[in-house]
Structure 1
Amino acid sequence: MRLLTPKPAPLDDFFVPALCEPEALLTLVLLAELLVLVLVLAEPMTVGFDWVRLALVSLFVQWIVLLSAAVLCRLRPWLARCRPLIAGLGCCLVVVLLTLACTAVAEQYELGGPPSGEPALYLRHALISLIMSTLLLRYFYLQSQWRLQQRAELQARIEALQARIRPHFLFNSLNSIASLVVSDPARAEQAVLDLADLFRASLASPGSLVNWREEVTLTRRYLAIEHYRFGERLQVEWCVDGVPDDLPIPPLTLQPLVENALIHGVAPRIEGGLVRIEAQWRAGRFELQVSNPLAEREVPASRGTQQGLANIRGRLTALFGPDASLSVERRNGRHFTCLRYPCFSLTQEARAI
């Protein structure tokens, strides 16, 4: 029987962070300095505080910390392919060996006073480095597990929200096709094929984010279906030339906004109306605006409409944080639905999650 070996964790999921990063280095230096204070204060008290002793111990410990960070940073890709226990033992071994090496150098050049040559000194330094590195690695491991749990919960939440949107979208599209079955069977058949292509594209988009180009294509197919029902009453104006094709956006975000515009701005009006889709991306921020004319009489918001907007707002907040927003306003005889969220990277972010 063939045994299955566990796949190595991706480098981004490795519990030991990239210690060469400035933030990680600053944290290690501050923690090392706290350790120096503990070691110095733990020694027998003298009449005056020995600042020279503090400086020498600080130099000794900081050299160990910086050397360990540099070595572990270089070994990180290799350690990430090992099991967590083996990787942790390897990290501890590196720190202990560097500690012993720095102790030998300090003894050789008499940086801490006359050389003692006692094995107890090496054993003491090795035990301190082993304990501190074990505690720090344990902290890194717990932080990594917490991040993985948060990511899994976020993914489950997004999938649940997206699962609520798809039936809502399907039922409205089928209603549009149903109006053509009796009056124009040939066009109804073509609409079914368009719907099949639309859902094939939607279901083929893995992950929580898709490219802006795919989202636009999805919405154009939806509008093609609605054109069978509204005919010349439906007019659409696209102003999205300045948006990169690979800008990441949650799937089925634009289509529900356009659908709401048709329900509230085109369907109630005998003459129909113009749906304007405007989007721009600048300074790391994406803005999307869908507008439609106001109906002569107020159309009550359906539960599906409210749920669709709430789901889009929830997905934006879950993916892009509190800076993401979705707002609704009326001015100059038109109804505007606007969404905004920060987006500093393009293809790389679209591949995340």
Structure 2
Amino acid sequence: MVKILVNNHTNGVILLLAASLDYLIGDPWGWLHPVQVMGWVISHFTQLAINLWQQPWQRRLAGIGLGIGLIIGSGVAGWFIVLLGIWLNPFLGIGIGTILLASCFAARSLRAAAVDVLQPLTAGELELARSRLSQYVGRDTENLSESEILRAVLETVAENTTDGVTAPLFYAIVGALIPGVGSVPLALAYKAASTLDSMVGYRREPYTHLGWFSAKFEDLLTWIPCRLTVLTLALMSGKPQQVWRLCGRDAIADPSPNSGWSESAFAAILEVQLGGTNFYSGVVKQKPLLGKPTYEITPGKIEQALELKRYCFLIWLGIGLVFCLVQYSLSI
């Protein structure tokens, strides 16, 4: 009975438990997180590569090696750790898999980040809101107005709904349906790609060539889950054709092949406008305008965005569990 449970039913159990763990607890403060380990590897290798290699082609090759090594290494490490846990005790393996997979989901932490900024903002503490926002975004925050802070929070929720919530779940579901693989390895591999992109996937030096592969490969991995996320949100909105049309019109203006789609979807559904002028280290960057400003961005609109994110995740989770159940029934 235990062997049947482990071989055929574990993936669905781990999916459900991991989603529940992320919803109830999230990422406990002070706990070692897989992303911390990935970040340590990336930062140390990056510093080594910058010191050792100066030529563009050398750094590009180093970046390719870093990307392939960390992505595959994270997936293999996750697979081996879960397998070892199952070998020691099936329920230990399920527990380890649950914790590792939950660490790949950022649904609770995304809400916590939004609330962390909104609380002082709604209390009139603009300076504190700016300071807290700086922990979550790359743009300069010291001179942002209230409306610009609200836009930054909504853009963060919109972009990370795909990067931090639905895309890891997508790869967890795909992995669960591949015999002998499981949810954890593919989700961790995607998390590694996402972490690489966030740390070195920049066009500015010294990351121009070192982070080239990481940026391109993360875009590739996110392309399908991003479009499926937009499709799900569009169907949830009750006006799918309108949302998809506005996304097709506005998202192509964004240099990112994915974040523009995510942000355009939320802008279309909430009937607000995202994008505009941002500053990064004092340098102005004009982002394309996404959506029509029918309404102003308010804390209520951000709460609606968080609810859309949650329901999208639950729909995907339900579909994934159905797939796992069908696979289990066919294997009996």
Q: Same fold (TM over 0.5)?
A: no
Q: Which has the higher strand share?
A: 1
Structure with bigger gyration radius: 1
Q: Which has the higher contact order (CA 8 A, sep 6+)?
A: 2
TM-score after normalising by structure 2: 0.25
